[in-house]
Amino acid sequence: MSKYLVCGAGGFIGGHLVKRLMDQGNDVVCADIKPTEYWFQYFEENQNYSLDLKEYENCLKVTEGTDFIYNMACNMGGMGFIENNKAECMLSVLINTNLLRACIQNKVSKYFFSSSACVYNGQKQKEIFVPGLKEADAYPAEPEDGYGWEKLFSERMCRHFTEDFGLETRVVRYHNVYGPIGTYDGGREKAPAALCRKIINAKMNNIDTIDVWGDGKQTRSFMYIDDCLDGTEKVFNSSKKEVYNVGSSEQVSINQMIDMIEEIAKVKLKRNFQLDKPKGVRGRSSDNTKIENEINWSPKINLKDGLEKTYKWIFDQIKSGSNTSKYTRSY
């Protein structure tokens, strides 16, 4: 039986990944900076560590005896968080750096780094409904300030650890992952969850208007968590060492996504466009040609279906009076 370490196991993608690895019968070690009571998904039977992976000693401790590592750990969130916490986002470079060093020391077989669509050159994302971003579009480098620079730098560090020390690494660039058991309030939430929450609140409280950041014409593609895990697993298990997009090519404007959520909620609301709020790039989507051809993966869940599942989960959370902000504060 292989031993997997999931770093960032208390977060949204990390939590779902731990569950999947356990369902497959693997031995899983989990690490996260948050106290375990704040993990989105927590499984007692695993070996669970709450510690700061920015510290090398902690990286040495959790990697000892593990074969495969998924590094999902970083300080992140939606536009509202990454535009206002650039230094915090860049400090995640210490996690990747010290994990890579520990992998060499502890002779780990394979290491996965979760990169982001935020590495892509901003010049290619200046219009709405732009062509999907190809992997090569990350260079010449002009990534998202703070968060995107850290991701791009860490991608390269993985590459050089492979070249110089022979460590097997795999890197993917996620495009706005969403789904149940994730952040929908507290300041780190991304657009799909934030807009579900706002529409649910409006409906429950008979309010006729929701706040929308920007003019609603900006575009994105959103990837459902199950697709994210499938793509991740396929790249991890492949012999190919390239960097791949793991995202959806279903590009929609924020207004189109709101239309879908309103249809799910069976409500029609007015939109108060807040032009002074964080907006990020004007247009972004994933070109999946490379991963389709080389890894034979493409997402299966369309946005409407994924939003339905996400909406239902957030609705149940709000109805039961819970909120996730305690899971998502900074440590």
Report the distance separating Cα 166 and Cα 33, nearest Å: 29
- Ramachandran angles phi, psi of 227, nearest 5°: -65, -40
When the beta carbons of 46 and 75 are compared against ligand GDD, the nearer one is: 75
- Binding residues for ligand GDD, rule CB under 6 A, total 27
Enclosing H/E stretch for 19: helix 12-23
SS3 212: strand
- Position among 20, 34, 170, 175 found at the interface with ligand GDD (CB under 6 A): 175
The reply to whether 63 sits near ligand GDD by the rule CB under 6 A is no
The verdict on whether 42 is a catalytic residue reads no
Residues 327, 82, 115, 157, Cα dihedral to 10°: -110
Report the distance separating Cα 9 and Cα 22, nearest Å: 12
The reply to whether 213 sits near ligand GDD by the rule CB under 6 A is yes
- Position among 32, 185, 189, 227 found at the interface with ligand GDD (CB under 6 A): 189
| Least distance to ligand GDD, CB of residue 104, Å | 27
The reply to whether 191 sits near ligand GDD by the rule CB under 6 A is yes
- Position among 101, 278, 304, 309 found at the interface with ligand GDD (CB under 6 A): 278
DSSP string, 20-71: HHHHTT-EEEEEESS-GGG-SS--TTSEEEE--TTSHHHHHHHHTT-SEEEE
SS3 215: coil
- Position among 116, 169, 251, 328 found at the interface with ligand GDD (CB under 6 A): 116
Question: Interface mask (CB under 6 A) for ligand GDD, residues 138-167, using x and -?
Answer: ---------x--------------------
Among 120, 147, 311, 327, the one annotated catalytic: 147
Residues 230/158, Cβ–Cβ less than 8 Å: no
- Position among 31, 72, 99, 212 found at the interface with ligand GDD (CB under 6 A): 212
The reply to whether 118 sits near ligand GDD by the rule CB under 6 A is yes
Binding part of the chain for ligand GDD, among 22-30, 185-193, 291-299, 301-309 by CB under 6 A, reads 185-193
In this structure, the strands spanning 68-71 and 110-116 are parallel
The reply to whether 125 sits near ligand GDD by the rule CB under 6 A is no
Residues 77/190, Cβ–Cβ less than 8 Å: yes
- Rounded to 10 deg, the angle between the 12-23 and 225-237 helix axes is 60
| Least distance to ligand GDD, CB of residue 190, Å | 3
For ligand GDD, which residue has the nearest CB? 78
- As annotated, the active-site residues are 147
- By the criterion CB under 6 A, which residues form the site for ligand GDD? 76, 78-80, 82, 116-118, 147, 174-176, 189-191, 194-195, 212-214, 218, 220, 254, 277-280
